[in-house]
Structure 1
Amino acid sequence: MNIAASLLLWLFLPAVNLGVLIHAAQGEQITHAALWLHATIASAEILLAGYLIPAAQRRPYRLTLALLLTAAVLLPAVGLPSLSFAAWLGVRQRHTAAPPPFRILPAPVFTTRNRRTISYGMGGVRMRLADPHTQPEARLSALLTLKSIPTRHASELLRDLLDDPEEDLRLLAYGMLESEEKRLDKQINAALERHRVGSFSAARVLAFLYWELIYHDLAQGDVRDFALGEVKRYLDEAQGAQPHEADLWVLRGKFALGNGDLAQAREAFETAGALGYPQVKLLPYLAELAYARRDFAAMRSLFSSLKLLHANDTLQPVMRYWSRQ
């Protein structure tokens, strides 16, 4: 059926139509019979072309019909055969390219922190708070983001704002510092009450709470010296009752490292590791100890022994630096 229609459209009807046009052109005027015959042939060509053109290429139907009618009227004998042949040839010669094979993508880098705690970079917050020419609203917004930043990093910025000329910033910074201090004081007082009645674990809790007060830089001057003394006092008591507690040995190492006693810090960290403290958590303290001793070869060895995926996002840049050859 398609072959017969193709022969009619591409050979027979164009030849008849061309003969009619040549005969009419030789006369002095075009007769009505020649016009009717041309119209009949054009109609037949339109029907055959619509039949031969693939269904996907017939849409939109009205525009396709208008195109066929225009070709039949303005380009008799060659318009419709050319259009239909081009459409048919385009379908026959089309080659569908095979989709490329799937690529194996590297695993995405995930952060081990809560996303909200790293929504604002410390550099941007520090820049806004330190610039007195920044709009007060922008500085206030930056100050509020410190609530989602670890207290150890936020306390220094908050103390710098206590002398800020903007009163709202001063009051808010003071309130945030006081709130954190009250939180720790409340926990310390509760632990002291338990310690007075002979609680077995109160000394351990007090040692960590006083160290948190120092670590978060919430204790200054004489208060800091007092807190250091309390850390040593309750740490000695807790270790006397629990000499094989790895967490207490880590605290002992941090306390000694903070006081510059590198030998005691090394002994404490090694003891904590021997008692089963995770090497991943212990590595930053060992690296800090090696750096304080200026033992850079030991630092490189420490970081090279730890896989990058085992470290959090803060430690990874340090590991990449010290692990490179």
Structure 2
Amino acid sequence: MFFLLGALALMLQGMALFRFAEFLDAQRLLVESALWQLGAALAAGCWMANMGTTQHHGQWRSLFVHGFLLCLLLPIVGQAIIASTALGIVFMPPVRRVPLVQFVPRPRVVPSLIRQVTYGAGLRLLGRLRDVRLSADERLQAMVGLRELPSNVSGGLLRKLLSDPVEEIRLLAYGIFDAAENRIRQEILIARQLLDESESDSEHAQLAGRLAELHWELVYQNLVHGELRQFTLRCVRQYAHEALMRNAKQANLWYLLGRSALIESEPEQAREYLARAQEHGFPAHRLAAWLAETDFQQGQYAAVPRSLSALKGIATPSPYEPVKRYWFT
């Protein structure tokens, strides 16, 4: 079809040139030549639109305008371009056909299949607990799955649920929150009693380190807040230093001191503690993010990628992936 349109455009273009030559001899009116030129331009525009849609779907309007104006305003040049394009299509066909870009429909959510999805369960659970528009029964069912979330996430969420408008949610959140806090505090009381009764330095260092870890659990799980949180952080430092005075090779306690210093916005002290933890064998990839945090708090942004270099080439937890992409790209 488009070959016939191309031949028609060439023929009309030739007639327009012929009538224009007669106009130069003053034997014909110029308007007749202009009409032939207009017809040739229309045929050329239709031809280009018809031919271009096979490879450029949805762009026929721009192709028509391009061919029409090209042939209307540049008679001889337009005729040459149309002829060369037609010959190129005939004698130089494309080696392979470029597949057309197709639009796919938007995915449709099937509510009955949501329960079978295993990934992202934590985020869905958080969304259900925070959505006050859901019924009380649906939110209570979500509270049952709260145990599957990491402790540092569930603790902060439980604290927010203590002020929930639904009484059953508040009572259940308080029960879970109080049970977790009481369990750790009970272990702290037992460890303190054993610490008072300890006789050797090694036993004292082990129990003091255990107390530092238990107080850190209260902070890590977001079970303490405000001034009580500050007091708990001081206890972490006190028992950690007490244990390290008797055994300085406990890398995990140097790590807790570094984390505590970061919370207190003491990046220089934190870097020193984290460096001591690495000296005593603490895994470098677990320290990388916190060393980078010390650089960031000190405003040494150029040093952040260097501190994160230990994360390259290893399977890191998903929370570190956005950090890696930001600083390494």
Q: Which of 262, 266, 279 pairs up with 2:271?
A: 266
Aligned to 1:185: 185
Give the % identical residues. Answer: 34
Question: Which ranges of structure 2 fall in alignment gaps of 5 or more residues?
Answer: 1-117
The within-5 A match list for 1:1-325 is 119-198=119-198, 199-200=203-204, 201-324=206-329
CA contact (8 A) 1:120 1:145 kept: no
Distance 2:288 2:135 in 1: 42
- Alpha-carbon spacing, 1:192–1:305, altered in 2? closer, same or farther (3 Å): closer
Deviation at 1:125, TM superposition (A): 2.8
CA contact (8 A) 1:128 1:142 kept: yes
Deviation at 1:126, TM superposition (A): 3.0
Q: Greater shift after overlay, 219-228 or 272-281? A: 219-228
**In structure 2, what residue type is equivalent to 1:242?**
N
Deviation at 1:257, TM superposition (A): 1.1
> Could you give the per-residue CA deviations for residues 83-122 of structure 1, whole angstroms, max 9, x where no partner exists?
xxxxxxxxxxxxxxxxxxxxxxxxxxxxxxxxxxx85444
Distance change in 2, residues 1:221/1:321 (3 Å) = closer
CA drift of 1:266 comes to 0.8
Tell me what 2:20 maps to: none
Give the C-alpha shift of residue 202 in structure 1: 0.9
Unaligned runs of 5+ in 1: 1-117
Segments of 4+ in structure 1 off by > 3 A? 118-123
Match of 1:18 in 2: none
Q: 2:192 touches 2:211 (CA, 8 Å); kept in 1?
A: yes
Task: Look up the SS of the partner of 1:132 in the other structure.
Answer: coil
Q: Is the 8 A contact 2:156 2:223 kept in 1?
A: no
Q: What is the distance in 1 between the residues matched to 2:217 and 2:310?
A: 30
TM-score (norm 1): 0.59
Take 1:210 and 1:280, find their aligned partners in 2: how far apart are those partners?
24
Distance 1:160 1:303, change over 3 A: same
Distance 2:309 2:291 in 1: 13
Larger Rg: 1
CA distance in 2, matches of 1:230, 1:302: 29
The Cα RMSD (Å) is: 1.9
Distance in 1 (CA, whole Å) between partners of 2:233 and 2:322 is: 32
Distance 1:172 1:120, change over 3 A: farther
What residue in structure 2 maps to residue 107 of structure 1? none
Aligned residue number for residue 111 of structure 1: none
Number of the residue aligned with 2:28: none
Distance 2:238 2:305 in 1: 35
Distance 1:305 1:254 in 2: 18
2:156–2:221: 8 Å Cα contact kept in structure 1?
Answer: no
1:160 to 1:230, Cα distance in 2 relative to 1, 3 A: same
CA spacing shift, 1:178–1:287, aligned 2, 3 Å: same
Cα distance change, pair 217–305 in 1 and its aligned pair in 2 (3 A): closer
Question: Counterparts of 2:316 and 2:120 in 1: how far apart (Å)?
Answer: 21
